[in-house]
């Protein structure tokens, strides 16, 4: 393959901005430079776009904006541009790119937004398309589609913001249908942002208030008793491979944002400490869920492994964390695919999907 130019996009207007910076730095350190030229494109929290030419470490440290190594630049939807437009004092310069790696977590990154821009631009990109991104991002839609395909998920209910005013009417119905304890999640965030566990009526109300700060729709789920395990998937549509299954043992009440990224308090076991038959069931179900949702490139499918041998899908993450401690690269490393090779495979899958 001839050397390709890849644009790595990071940041964005998202509650997961900081996680994106850490993930992007890891991706940038591991792109095989003998096969790819790299352009770094950062989006600020308030939505400004810049080409960044500085040290990768400053991205991870969230100091890239103050580096003096930025210049206004955008991804153009005009296909004649072929990628990025640099805005210079002398005018506009076009920079053609071959493939884009959007390392954007949460809203505007995993919900089909950036994917729609890339489709308009006619640029190959790593990861799921518009529909798969948006349906996997919306936890209610994920439940509906997986259940329609016969893939088991936790018992659930969706609530919109206006319904919170009728909490005294809704709470008994939720308690009867789902039972305490409950997990409360904004429908369209990742990294456990805005997620709470409620053991009674008062805690449920406070959890809903918290979740509605992040989304107009909230999912309420029965708390499942089982081992938290994850399986990474790599491929396009039905042509995909699952990773080794990994296990997460949080030291907090659940696997929250702090346990994922801030305090190193979570124990990870690769492979998971579950029977081989259950592990194989999870790997098979992960690929089924990937195909049912129309995923391409990559996804991490999160499960509960029940003590009776059953498995329940918790969530599908279409742009999972790529930090040095993230499960997606770790799971494939355990399967024999090292980080640089993993990045290369993802970029090749993006080009393959686009027919480039």
For 321, the token pair is: 């964390």
Euclidean distance between CA atoms 153 and 208, whole angstroms = 21
Q: What is the largest CA-CA distance in the chain?
A: 67
Q: Under a CB-based contact definition with an 8 Å cutoff, are residues 120 and 254 in contact?
A: no
Q: Which residue in the block uniquely carries the two structure tokens 């053991």? A: 199
- Looking only at the bridges linking them, the beta strands covering 4-11 and 36-43 are parallel
Euclidean distance between CA atoms 282 and 4, whole angstroms = 35
Residues 6+ apart with CB under 8 A from 245: 229, 230, 231, 271, 272, 274, 279, 282, 283, 331
Catalytic residues: 16, 191, 261, 300, 302, 315, 317, 321
For residue 143, what are the β-bridge partners?
none
Handedness of CA 324, 143, 242, 253 (dihedral sign): positive
R_g over Cα of the chain: 20
User: In Å, what is the CA distance from 106 to each residue of 4, 159, 171, 214, 264?
Assistant: 27, 20, 28, 11, 21
For residue 1, what are the β-bridge partners?
none
Euclidean distance between CA atoms 11 and 15, whole angstroms = 10
Handedness of CA 22, 326, 331, 221 (dihedral sign): negative
Rounded to a whole number of angstroms, the distance between the first and last alpha carbons of the chain is 11
């Amino acid at each position: 393959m001839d050397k390709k130019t890849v644009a790595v996009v990071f940041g964005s207007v998202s509650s997961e901005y900081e996680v994106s910076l850490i993930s992007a730095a890891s991706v940038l350190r591991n792109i095989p430079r003998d096969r790819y030229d790299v352009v770094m494109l950062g989006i600020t929290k308030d939505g400004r776009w810049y080409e960044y030419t500085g040290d990768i470490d400053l991205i991870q440290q969230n100091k890239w904006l103050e580096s003096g190594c930025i210049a206004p630049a955008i991804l153009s939807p005009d296909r004649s541009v072929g990628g990025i437009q640099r805005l210079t004092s002398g005018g506009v310069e076009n920079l053609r790119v071959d493939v884009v790696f959007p390392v954007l977590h949460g809203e505007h990154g995993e919900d089909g937004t950036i994917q729609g821009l890339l489709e308009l631009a006619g640029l190959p990109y790593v990861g799921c398309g518009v529909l798969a991104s948006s349906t996997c991002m919306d936890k209610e839609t994920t439940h509906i589609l997986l259940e329609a395909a016969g893939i088991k998920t936790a018992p659930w209910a969706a609530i919109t913001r206006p319904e919170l005013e009728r909490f005294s009417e809704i709470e008994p119905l939720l308690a009867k249908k789902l039972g305490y304890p409950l997990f409360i999640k904004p429908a369209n965030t990742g990294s456990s942002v805005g997620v709470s566990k409620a053991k009674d009526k008062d805690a449920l109300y406070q959890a809903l208030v918290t979740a509605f700060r992040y989304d107009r729709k909230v999912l309420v789920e029965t708390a499942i008793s089982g081992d938290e395990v994850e399986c990474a998937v790599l491929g396009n549509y039905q042509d995909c491979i699952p990773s080794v299954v990994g296990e997460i043992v949080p030291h907090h009440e659940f696997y929250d944002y702090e346990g994922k990224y801030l305090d190193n308090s979570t124990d990870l076991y690769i492979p998971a400490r579950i029977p081989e038959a259950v592990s194989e069931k999870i790997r098979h179900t992960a690929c089924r869920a990937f195909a049912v949702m129309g995923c391409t490139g990559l996804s991490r499918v999160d499960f509960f492994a029940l003590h009776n041998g059953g498995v329940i899908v918790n969530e599908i993450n279409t742009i999972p964390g790529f930090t040095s401690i993230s499960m997606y690269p770790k799971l494939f490393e355990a399967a024999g695919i090292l980080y640089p090779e993993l990045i290369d495979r993802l970029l090749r899958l993006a080009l393959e999907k686009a027919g480039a």
